A and B are shown apart, each in its own frame.
Chain A
């Protein structure tokens, strides 16, 4: 689990670095060398999608999903624990179903690619698949060991 998190962290940080670097390189290429990189914008958008989904399990793992928890906090203990369980189960169901739906789409769209750079679309969808599948796994782990953080709203 620790190693897996480390790998995801490194991947996410690397993607963010590229997300900053590519538009900057584009400006330099365009204004200093007069030779803009064709497809830089497309690649940047691709990186954004990857950053968001690849790092989603980190969000879940840290208990940083955006929640309005004030009402639940004020509820009787039993009811609150019931809702906690219900939330975890539906989170597993939703994340799992999204991952399943993405998997099916990847199977159908193999020849799909972005217009300029020809980035195959299964790469985009692959990040979505990874994000939700890994999130589902983390939610399952949390069934036994829920995250310590129970703030009402956090990012």
Chain B
């Protein structure tokens, strides 16, 4: 029965039904056939959004819209372009590196795409990069966000498995840096091969200074956020609200470019984007509930755990399971559904739970970039105004550094566990 529901969803999805209805239709039929109370539908769909971490999603989308409309974006990129625009790949490098900086203030990949992504794609297109390439760079670099602290998925993983969140967060730093380096290398190779735009010469110190000054209030934002979180002024979710207020203030007071029309338009765009994405999270919660009742994750795990008890083989299997789970479920649902089933037998067999956590979350983040349920894909498509097919074609080379990073994470536990080892 579980398989039938998954297949029904896939069929509707491929036939071009809106994702929210492609999920809800088989779920509703299941509820009616099995005689579950209809109230389950109401309850599950509504409660799914009763989550404090999810609050960061609309707020960061709002920040992105606002920065775009009020000219903050342009100043950041004028500065970044002045600074590293000469490097092969130019703004593509800035895009990737800024995701690392941004991820220091955001715990969610979607917030990166929704916030910074909008700015990055805009700037790259203005500079002459193709829209699909800009979108691909943005989507792939957003994977880094939830691996680098702070991270909502890692905190959820920690709470499900009772693994130390501090160790998990520390463990993510090295893989995040490796991933960024490999992505930048890929962007450099691609842009040299296709002769993509880069600045004509390196900047003079004076030029750097002149472009730095107007960008400074904006560049300071992530610094203030990180500092605020480190000294305990606010939590990662609250940091989103601080960023929003800060951006309103600097665009109104310092840049003087914020109008009521800007504010209204960016808020309206934000509520629509938010609703289109989170309505799917709501529907997926019902879908996940049904899969859990049908014991689909358990059966799947039991099937695969019969194959081997060797930790390395198990890790490869875990990769496969989380990769597939990430293709269908959003990361929170997947963590809540799959981790409690997969983790205990693996840990018993000798897999380090912190290591497993990084492997799991990185897979789920790649899952945001794979159809059918790749929320990052959908979001970035809409921002760049391109089709899914165009994006997937441009994204293809970027799967290489991502899978390479996954390989390193999987086969070199010492590298992952190096920083947390100082706490053990």
Q: What interface size band does chain A fall in?
A: 35 or more
CB B53 to nearest CB in A, in angstroms, measures: 10
The answer to whether B19 and A66 have CB atoms under 8 Å apart is yes
**A62 x B242 contact (CB < 8 A):** no
Q: How far is the CA of A19 from the CA of B382 in the complex (A)?
A: 24
Find out whether the CB atom of B13 lies under 8 angstroms from the CB atom of A104: no
Bits for B352-386, please: 1 = Cβ < 8 Å to A, else 0: 00000000000000000001100001110111010
Query: What 3 A-B pairs come out closest when comparing CB atoms?
Result: A72-B16, A155-B382, A65-B18
Are B238's CB and A27's CB within 8 A? Answer: yes
Question: In the complex, what distance in Å separates the CA atom of A1 from the CA atom of B245?
Answer: 33
Interface residue SS majority, chain A: helix
Neighbouring A residues of B250 by C-beta, 8 Å: none
Which residue of chain B lies nearest to A153 when distances are taken between CB atoms in the complex?
B381
- Any B CB within 8 A of the CB of A138: no
B200 at the A/B interface (Cβ < 8 Å)? no
B313 at the interface (CB under 8 A from A): no
Chain B hits for A68, CB < 8 A: 13-14, 16, 19, 371-372, 388
Q: Are A16 and B55 in contact (CB under 8 A)?
A: no
Contacts A48-B49, A94-B28; A101 near B42 (Cβ below 8 A): yes
A44 to B57, CA, bound (A): 13
Q: From B16, B38, B46, B51, give the contact of A71 (CB < 8 A).
A: B16
A108: Cβ under 8 A from any B Cβ:
yes
Q: How far is the CB of B376 from chain A (nearest CB, A)?
A: 11
In the complex the two chains form, is B62's CB within 8 Å of A155's CB?
no
**B residues in contact with A151, CB < 8 Å:** 385, 387
- How distant is B231 from chain A, measured CB to nearest CB, in Å? 10
In-complex Cβ contact of A17 among B38, B49, B267, B279 (8 A): B267
Q: When the two chains form their complex, are residues A45 and B52 in contact, meaning their CB atoms are under 8 A apart?
A: yes
Say whether, besides A13-B271, A101-B41, A155-B273, A69 and B16 are in contact (CB < 8 Å). Answer: yes
- CB of B16 within 8 A of CB of A16, answer no
CB within 8 A of A52: which of B24, B279, B372? B279
> Given A27-B242, A49-B50, A19 and B272 touching (CB < 8 A)?
no
> Closest residue to A108 on the B side, CB-wise?
B39
Contact digits for B306-348, partner A, Cβ 8 Å, 1 yes 0 no: 0000000000000000000000000000000000000000000
Candidates B233, B245, B270, B379; contact of A31 at CB < 8 Å: B233
B55 touches A153 (CB 8 A): no
* Bound complex: CA A4 to CA B299 (Å): 48
Q: Do the beta carbons of A66 and B20 come within 8 Å of each other?
A: yes
CB within 8 Å of B: which A108-155 residues? 108, 124-125, 128, 131, 151-155
Q: How far is the CB of B178 from chain A (nearest CB, A)?
A: 31
The answer on a CB contact under 8 Å between A94 and B24 is yes
Q: Is the CB of B276 within 8 A of A24?
A: no
Interface string of A1-33 (1 = CB under 8 A from B): 000000001001101110111111011000100
If A72-B15, A105-B39, A105-B42 touch, does A24 touch B21 (CB 8 Å cutoff)? no
- Interface contact A124-B46, CB-CB below 8 Å: yes
- In the assembled complex, the CB of B307 is this many whole angstroms from the nearest CB of chain A, namely 33
Residue contact B28 to A59, C-beta cutoff 8 Å? no
Interface flags for A42-81 (1: CB within 8 Å of B; 0: not) read 0011001101110110110010111111111100000000
